Amino acid sequence: MRQLFYTPHGLELQTDAPEPQIAEDDDVKIKVEYCGVCGSDLHFLRKEMDFLVLADTDHYPLGHEAAGYITELGPKATAKGLKVGDPVIYYFNQYCGKCHYCRNGQEHLCTNIKSNMVAMADYIVTGEQTVFKLDEGTDLAKAVFHEPISVCLHGIDLAKIKPGQSVMVSGGGGIGLILLQLAKLSGATELTLSEPIAWKREVAKKLGAVHTIDPTAEDVGEAARRYTGGLGYDVVIEASGSTRACPGALDAVGRGGTLEFFAALYDVNYDFPLNLQAAFFKEVTIVAGVFQSPYAFPRTLGLFKVLDIDTLMSDGCIFEAEQYQEAFEAQMKGKTIKSVLKF
């Protein structure tokens, strides 16, 4: 079986990885057809995650944005009416249901969380509770966007956008452009994307951005006040993962506004230069988050049908599994919004 790993030497596609088998009675085995490259995966290519994943193993599996077909069901995988041959996506986290956070309705903060991020492979096995059936005929290459949509939906829930509020998103990657669409659906006004790559700013306009900002060519705070009548934005979501974007995001938020740092893995050694006096007098609410919420994931099934996924699937974004290096590099260099591996 083919499976992509991160090793001390970089990315490696093994062709003889052991094929996973049903182990629990409620397990589901899935033939992966496509798996998206997450922005978090790019940190492996830059060797920024070694401290986290190579402490206990020298082969760390990758992938969590997968879509495929069921090939086998455990004898007790009957709660959802799933059948062999069904097109499905999966939710990669499993929660204990017993810790303080699980019992408080915050399962995504579970202290005993188990992550099944092994989907850049020909097959995966996961619990039935994490599997969601897709409509027949769903384009499985596009279906990999369900997972990042669910992440972004959690981000929108945290931001608490109200209809009529002005919103800026920083970062025009897959997460940023999905957040932009969800903010529009939430009733955002003066919707703005801050992004240094010109073609991604054009994509943002197609997706509903009223304004775009090139942070390499103009001061983000000044542009924010120009587009909001001198007020600054009610909500600013920083989703680029670039430490260079963080000060501008704070400058762009208005009095009484919300600044959210979301779904971005910043340099572990980066300390945000927060001007507490500015935040104090602005009365800024600062929130941060990256995790999926189990309550958000089922809602993606409907949102997938109304969001513009076609525009996010830039030309040449689908790569054969053996082209994993090209896929990762294309996304890292801003040539694709999301690269997708075909297995």
Alpha helices, DSSP H, located in 168-252: 174-185, 198-206, 220-227, 246-252
Q: Check 40, 166, 186, 194 and give the catalytic one.
A: 40
Q: N- to C-terminal Cα distance for the chain?
A: 10
Rounded to a whole number, what is the largest CA-CA distance in the chain?
Answer: 62
Rounded Cα gap, residues 221 and 215, in angstroms: 10
Report the SS3 class of residue 121: strand
Q: Is 186 a catalytic residue?
A: no
Return the number of other C-beta atoms located less than 10 Å from residue 283's C-beta: 9
Task: List phi, psi (to 5°) of 278.
Answer: -65, -45
Q: Cβ–Cβ contacts within 10 Å for residue 274, how many? A: 14
Q: CA-to-CA distance for 320 and 308, rounded, in angstroms?
A: 24
**Catalytic annotation present for 339:** no
Burial class of residue 16 in the structure, from the number of CB atoms within 10 Å of its CB (0-12 exposed, 13-18 middle, 19+ buried) = exposed
| Residue in 54, 179, 59, 180 with CA at minimum distance from that of residue 121 | 59
Catalytic residue among 43, 108, 154, 211: 43
- Reference 34, options 133, 135, 174, 139; nearest CA is 139
What is the token pair recorded at 128? Answer: 């039935």
Residue positions annotated with a catalytic role = 40, 43
